[in-house]
Chains A and B, each alone.
Chain A
């Protein structure tokens, strides 16, 4: 392997380019029309256009990406996350073109890609899963029968699902037939497959996942867990490693189950097994249930890297070259605590409305314990076409409390101008008593957001703001900011222009 094409954009493309550079591999970036000036392009050795902005005409066009691989002589493709990363047909097409797909074999992606097939694989690997059906439901009658067996409340889920689409919580038999029809037609619309299955609704679960890495020689290790319970609309907002509620014994049981599942499917490269974890009301025991397996590198992989000291992307590249892992399970040590905040171009004060546009200013935090995987810069226009994630800010400390305090300090330093971001939301969460005590589950954030926000710290007197505004006015080029009306109005416009120049 000499030259790697990165079939992705943004921070993850840059993350992979950096790892390739460190290993002496040449890098090929691809871009859509709106991404010519994107950061990942400016960091690559070679860069080629794919097509127009929409992902369906650029980053999802496997044929165009393989054309670029041929033209540039790239012998491997890293898919990042999202886009084509879990597309078995694309992995097949890479193999047919003689290009290494840096990820699992297509057969393993197929075995784990559908949620119903993954549930069957979990049974074969003797792994606990949420009770319910392991095949698609043929009718509302079958749904009623399965639900009666496992007891309400239940959850209908799309077999091809993700991101909360095709999902319905159902509390009684009366609601089930209508919910079945709704979930099935939503799944059909979103994923082209109306297959839905049913499982017991686990109440107030935590979302905890195990990171795996497997090589082509039959070795597979687990690299601890990540706690991803802070979610909004099924999207992760804050991730951390390790989980405050996972002890050595639970970690070993979950890790070994995840490894069994991966090996039973011929899995190779990085992967993540997601679990729901809940505490039994009576025994107080913690139970874990298989949820699904993600057959790719995850967004939140940095928190695992921080506490294991391993570089997952470099491991991925070495595995793809056919090298053995070179590390045994007993050698993996977890140390300290890492927290990640996903910084998005969205406005928490306005119903999380996306806020793309020109970044006029970027003041990034630094100091000990801070890592930032950032895909943007001052002067970059965040496009409308893709996920509005700007950056992943990671704090690492000796303890969970230290990592949280470090993150709060870093967020204080972080200023993004021109667009709105969710930075203030993280402050609210990280200061919340329940979060700090790790009393969290997948419904935690929605509950927090339904409460009125505490008023902002009254640390900044109004006079300071008035003075700052007046001083900016007086120092602007049009400093004829006299008492008369017209120049002042002109200054207001000039101030805006200056802000844009950044």
Chain B
């Protein structure tokens, strides 16, 4: 079977044999190059992979895989998607064109809203201040543009990932 994965923004094509789900010695390929891997589930969400004798412990953590080796665990954000939608999304979100949304990075309380709809903002200009764990944090615009929507209201509680301000 073919699985398209995107790791740290780079798209890879992985071919797995039909028995992959059961684990064991597997003949796979990544972007067309053959790889012999021995895969064992050591606990739910944790795989031990050996490739040419090197062992990697891989931990599934939400939308990331943490690979533990010498030098500590490294976290890789991934997505599993098909080529079409990946390309589509790149086209819409890339560069300075299109809309970008400032989202709450964590749950907290909105302390100040620094922009109103219709405002022109510069890249990295502060748009909203949220307070969480006794710390105030200013969230900045990811691009230069115009504010087309302000969803944040002062003194309201927001959850992680909530849209606060949309910039076009």
Contact = CB atoms under 8 A, between A and B. Distances in A.
B95 interface: no
Interface residues of A, number: 60
A463 B67 contact: no
B85 interface: yes
A481 interface: yes
Contacts of A492: 63, 79-81
Contact of A459 (B4, B41, B69): B69
The 9 lowest CB-CB distance pairs between A and B, nearest first, are A457-B71, A485-B82, A470-B14, A354-B133, A468-B58, A499-B62, A417-B61, A466-B12, A470-B3
A174 interface: no
Interface string B35-64: 101010100110101010000101111110
A465 B81 contact: no
B59 A465 contact: no
By size class, the interface of chain B is 35 or more
Contact of A412 (B1, B8, B72): B72
Contacts of A470: 3, 5, 14, 16, 20, 28, 80
A356 interface: yes
Nearest to A482: B1
Interface of A: 350-351, 353-357, 360-361, 363, 384-388, 411-415, 417-418, 423-424, 427, 456-457, 459-460, 462-475, 479, 481-485, 488-489, 491-492, 495-496, 498-502
B78 A465 contact: yes
Contact of A356 (B20, B30, B107): B107
Given A357-B107, A384-B132, A473-B80, 13 more contacts: A353-B106, A356-B106, A356-B133, A384-B108, A412-B71, A412-B73, A415-B68, A460-B67, A465-B58, A465-B67, A467-B37, A468-B49, A469-B76
A474 B2 CA distance: 10
A467 B30 contact: yes
A418 B62 contact: yes
Contacts of A496: 62-63
Nearest to A411: B72
A467 B49 CA distance: 9
Given A356-B132, A423-B72, A471 B62 contact: no
Contact of B3 (A356, A460, A474): A474
Chain B interface helix/strand/loop/mixed? strand
Given A459-B69, A469-B65, A483-B1, A475 B51 contact: no
A8 B80 CA distance: 44
Contact of B65 (A351, A413, A472): A472
B13 to A, nearest CB: 9
A272 B61 CA distance: 40
Interface in B12-36: 12, 14, 16, 20-21, 23, 28, 30, 33, 35
B7 A462 contact: yes
A350 B133 contact: no
Contacts of B68: 412-413, 415
Contact of A485 (B23, B70, B84): B84
Given A354-B135, A467-B49, A473 B3 contact: yes
A460 B67 CA distance: 8
B132 A361 contact: no
Contact of A456 (B23, B47, B66, B74): B74
A354 B67 contact: no
B137 interface: yes
A468 B4 contact: no
A471 B132 contact: no
A460 B54 CA distance: 10
12 contacts: A353-B106, A463-B30, A469-B5, A471-B39, A473-B80, A475-B20, A484-B82, A488-B82, A492-B63, A495-B60, A496-B62, A502-B44
A279 to B, nearest CB: 34
Nearest to B65: A468
B104 to A, nearest CB: 11
Given A354-B106, A412-B71, A469-B78, A464 B56 contact: yes
Contact of B59 (A363, A484, A501): A363
B49 to A, nearest CB: 6
